[in-house]
Amino acid sequence: MSRIQATFEGLQANGRRALIPYVTAGFPFADITPDLMHGMVAAGADVIELGVPFSDPMADGPVIQKAGEAALALGVGLKQVLAMVAAFREKDATTPVVLMGYANPVERYDGMHGASAFVRDAAKAGVDGVLIVDYPPEECEGFAAELRAAGIDLIFLLAPTSTDARMAQVARLATGYVYYVSLKGVTGAGHLDTEAVGRMI
């Protein structure tokens, strides 16, 4: 059983919802991220979503874009993010960590060795789940299989505009949990319609 599954089963048994905060890796300082992660756990986080800085974060609003730009300027890339996860794991072997990012850093990982090398190193570092914003389900069955073999959950996005067919496809491939995008547009923008979200869920 994965750490994510174990966490959700424990929450369900206790009648609780999951608190899953997000932080951009390497912001505001490259070496502070593991401490921030421990702080989130101390404050009640059940799962941590760790954003991987990328130069063209098309789905992110200005706040996350600026945080990512600052982290990139400090030399924080995917390898450095995995090192941060490994450092976090030295003191916390139970809290699930999900990496959120884009396909390009994964495909160019380790001098173009790509997704297979990333999956190998992510498993070694202690990553529990991966959410790649621009990997649609129909294009990543091979990647999904590699992650499953390494014991890493693949998390997909669903949105208010998702069709029934897309929902069924995501339900077939996704493990861990499904990330529902509650707002149209980039992160941090617009008004949250909680009634509409409730109907979709």
- Of 59, 71, 52, nearest to 134 (Cα)? 59
Please give the full DSSP string across 140-177, using - where no structure is assigned: -HHHHHHHHHHT-EE--EE-TT--HHHHHHHHHH--S-
Active-site residue among 9, 35, 46, 60? 60
49 a catalytic residue: yes
Secondary structure (3-state) at 179 = strand
The conformation of residue 44, written as its DSSP 8-state character, comes to T
Query: How far apart are the C-alpha atoms of 18 and 10, rounded to whole Å?
Result: 10
Query: How far apart are the C-alpha atoms of 142 and 39, rounded to whole Å?
Result: 35
- Of 94, 95, 117, nearest to 105 (Cα)? 117
Structure tokens at 6: 């174990």
Active-site residue among 49, 121, 146, 153? 49
| Residues taking part in catalysis | 49, 60
